[in-house]
Each structure stands twice: as structure tokens, then as C-alpha cells.
Amino acid sequence: MSRVADEKVLVLDFGSQYAQLIARRARQQQVYCEIVRHDISAKRIRELAPKGLILSGGPASVYDPSAPRCDPAIFQLGLPILGICYGMQLICEASGGRVAAAPAREYGRAYCEVTAENDLFAGVPPRSPVWMSHGDQVTEVSEDFVPLAKTDTCAFAAVKHARLPLYGLQFHPEVTHTAYGEGILGNFLKRVCGCAGTWRLGDFAQQTISDVRRRVGDDRVICGLSGGVDSAVVAALLAQAIGPRLSCILVDNGLLRKDEAAGVIREFTDHFKTDLHVVRAEDRFLDALAGVTNPQEKRKIIGRVFIECFADEAARIEGARFLAQGTLYPDVIESGGLRDGPAATIKLHHNVGGLPEDLDFELIEPLRDLFKDEVRQLGLQLGLPEDIVWRHPFPGPGLAVRCVGEVTRARLATLREADAVVVEEIKRSGLYRQTAQSFAVLLPVQSVGVMGDARTYDDVVAVRSIDSEDFMTADWSHLPYELLARISTRIINEVQGVNRVVYDISSKPPATIEWE
């Protein structure tokens, strides 16, 4: 675990869908926060020296014998602890209270009435909306606990230990529907835990730059550039840390978006002046993909050829000892309190573009402690242009999985032009940052049309635009009709060989974001 901040708070994850959100909310208040497994030992916590602990919610019932528990010794550490939902039930039960199924499961808005003045609710009105999501609730507290707030259906909406800094909330302060959630979490972090709120991304950048310098010494680092924001931020950070001893490799697989490779090449040669190796490998990739239509087969081929190209080029760079990667915090969290082992959780099919472990390098992953929005902020601070920093995520196998059917040069050219129109129009309408991914898909379907006096039999392009927080679930963007009309007209007029445009109105699940 890192030591990127002087003061930190730990979130013990009991399997909550909101654990990451809690950590982000704390960081938004300038308090560095990390998620750890629910069963982390009290001894380990003492070593990590946090200023406080937050016990997350979770789907289990505390009275179930197999429910996830924490080390009971954590209550003796003298640290402030805030239990949220399941976390509160755990604290109350551990001290002799009772938890039972609520008469009715409660999901959604409730009104919280503060019944006792206290630090946690400082600045919070006597009655305010909160977000509930629970089947169980605390029905009795031991003599040591005092109620702080209630709702119509929940006598113990918030509690506090009479002498120790132990607090519990039945509702979720981390979600925006809880009107004063930010204030309540802030009170816990600052008034109860005594955090000063000194975590700053700028300090993080400086600290990381000096750490990298120390670790790398006089050696050389290789960094793969993909065109995306994560690898660009890693490269920018390393460029500032070790300048000429950074070598970047960009494998141009011929499957990138329009002008994407050129933009990154310009940035890293003209601005950051890095030793950039561009591997022009379009032919190699397209030859290997010839005749292939199966999506997983495409992914495997692209993954294999990428590794070959990267390894060949890396072998030409002398004296490189380190490999820098843009792994982010959500990829590495010792997460899923309910899952086995602290293993990194990386979505399997998203590994395409990754490198095998037997490449003989030591890894440098300077973004391991950051969330995506923090990476973007850092990118801006490091001087990367907005165009790169705010770019939508793009799959490793690139346009190949958006070119449904066979991947040929001609089909890629059609797709690339149509995709550029989608992105340009969405940017022009001011909706680019609001949507999580917007792109075109070329279908393996021809349809009949009429242009001038002639009948056509041309390609169909699907437009996909989604709204999503984490890409695990997504809804199709409810784009204005006028915008859709402009996209459609421009694609049909400007992209040769396309006579029909359709809009994908499927959510994930059950559909996926990509078509392949």
C-alpha cells in the first residue's frame, strides 16, 4: 500500500457497491482515502496509521453466521470509526445491540430528523432528505450507544457511542441524494478524525516525480502510449521526472480513431520532447486479421500481434530496466470484501493491449493510487491538452471490434470517417463530457437506398452513445433529435458508401457497450 499522503482514512469494504464512491467523496474533501479488505487485521491498521476508519455497507445480514466481519480488535484501537448501513449494524451488534430485518425493506428517499446535537450533524438542518438502501436495521442499541437521528420507519438512523468516537449511519451519506451527505462525511473526517484536508493532486505529482527519480536512478524507462488518457498521463509524469531517459513506444495498429496517432505523436515529440518510437504496424495487424469475423478471435490476434510489435521495439531500446504502465486504482483495489484474496481485479477481456509478465522489466505504475477523474486533473496539471485528457475510453482492439464482420482497409476507412463525424458533432453540441463513450459502428449489412435518381445498395452505420459512471452498467444517451439528425445527414452525405444511419437504444445490461 502506498504512502502518498500524510493523513489518510481507510474504507473497510464489506462488498458495498458504494465503497469506491465513499473513497472518492473523502478525496474530494482533500482527505486521502483507500479501500481495504473488510478483514484487515487491527495490527495492519496500526501500521498504516490512518486517522479514522469507515466501515462500508454490504449485501449480507450481520446475523447470518457466514456474514463478513471485521477484526473485533479494531474497536480497541481508539480510532474514530464510522459505520455506514451494514457497517453501522456491525458496530451496534458487536457492542450488544440487536439487528433484525426491517418490517419493510427500505430503498430510496427518507427524511432524517436529528434528535441530538453532535459533531457529525454540525451544519445539517433538523430535517433533511437522505438515501436509504437496506433490508435490516438496528432495533436495539446497548446502553453505550445514543441515538442521534431517526426517520419515520427507522428509530436509529444515526447513533454514537457515549464515550468512544464510534458512529453509525443507517443511510448513505456518499450518494448525492443525501442532501447533506457531503457535510456529514466532512464532519466525520475533519471534526471527528481531526483531518486537516491536506491531500492535493499537485503535491501528489511532485511526490511521485521525486519517487520515480529516486527509484529509476540512471536507468531507462519504457512506456507504451496507446492514445488514451491513462498512458498519456503516465508518460507526461515520467517525462517530467526523468526527461531523456524515458522512451515511449506507440504501436500504430491501423485500428486507431481518425487523427489519434498523429495527435499523440505531435504532443510527445513537440511538447514533451520524448524519445518516441512509433511502430507502423498497420499491415502486420490487418494481414493477421484478414478473413477473421469472430470477435474473440479478433481480440486474440490483436493482443498477440501487439505483444510481438511491442517486444520487438523494446528489444531495440538499450539499457531499459523499467516498464511504466497506466494502471489505475479501480484496477488494483484489494476489493470485493467478499471475494477471495487481495488479488488485483482486472476485467479479463479488457486485458487486450496488456503485456505478458515474462517481459523482463520492473513495473512502474505511478497512477495506482488514483481514480479516473483524478488522472484527468493530473493530466491537465502536467500540461496535456484537453483533447487528450477528456478523450473517451477506447478499447484496446480499437476499431476492429466496431467494424462488425471482416476488418479491411476500406471498411476501416468508412468507419473512421463516420466515427469522426459522431465525435465532432457531439463535441460541437457540448455533450461530449456528459456522455461516457460516443462512437460509430460499421454493420456487416447493406441496405437499399436512393440517391439522386439512382438506387443504392450501401453500408449501414450504427451510432452508439452511452452515459455511464463505471462502464459496468450504461444507459444509451438521450441525445437531442436535432443532433441525431445532423449526425445522420452528415454521415450519409460525407461518408462514401453509407446510405443509412441507425441509433442504438440498448442499455447495458443486457447489451454491452461495444457491439463485439
Task: Point out the residues that are catalytic.
Answer: 85, 172, 174
Q: Which is nearer to ligand XMP, 229 or 513 (CB)?
A: 513
3-state secondary structure of 12: strand
Q: Are 317 and 221 in contact (CB under 8 A)?
A: no
Q: Which is nearer to ligand XMP, 326 or 366 (CB)?
A: 326
Q: Which is nearer to ligand XMP, 95 or 507 (CB)?
A: 507
Q: In whole angstroms, how close is the CB of 303 to ligand XMP at the nearest point?
A: 8
Residues 6 or more apart whose Cβ sits within 8 Å of residue 277: 247, 248, 249, 250, 313, 316, 317
Q: Are 168 and 56 in contact (CB under 8 A)?
A: no
Q: In whole angstroms, how close is the CB of 352 to ligand XMP at the nearest point?
A: 4
Q: Are 202 and 382 in contact (CB under 8 A)?
A: no
Q: Which is nearer to ligand XMP, 184 or 441 (CB)?
A: 441
Q: In whole angstroms, how close is the CB of 443 to ligand XMP at the nearest point?
A: 16
Q: What angle, rounded to 10 degrees, do the helices at 282-289 and 295-316 form?
A: 150
Q: In whole angstroms, how close is the CB of 264 to ligand XMP at the nearest point?
A: 16
Q: In whole angstroms, how close is the CB of 28 to ligand XMP at the nearest point?
A: 24
Binding site for ligand XMP (CB under 6 A): 299, 349-350, 352-353, 393, 395-397, 437, 471, 508, 512-514
Give the DSSP H/E element, type plus range, for residue 134.
strand 127-140
The residues with which 132 forms a beta bridge, in sequence order, are: 108
- Count CA atoms closer than 13 A to 197's CA, side-chain side: 14
Residues 6 or more apart whose Cβ sits within 8 Å of residue 510: none
Q: Which is nearer to ligand XMP, 352 or 492 (CB)?
A: 352
Distance CA 215, CA 387 (A): 31
Distance CA 379, CA 427 (A): 20
Q: Are 367 and 230 in contact (CB under 8 A)?
A: yes
Grid cell 495527435 — which residue?
263
- Return the beta strands (E) in 115-228 as ranges: 127-140, 145-150, 158-161, 166-169, 220-225
Q: Which is nearer to ligand XMP, 41 or 512 (CB)?
A: 512
The residues with which 224 forms a beta bridge, in sequence order, are: 249
Nearest partner of 357 among 346, 370, 369, 342, judged by Cα: 346
Q: In whole angstroms, how close is the CB of 373 to ligand XMP at the nearest point?
A: 15
Grid cell 505531435 — which residue?
266
Q: Which is nearer to ligand XMP, 2 or 506 (CB)?
A: 506
Q: In whole angstroms, how close is the CB of 120 to ligand XMP at the nearest point?
A: 38
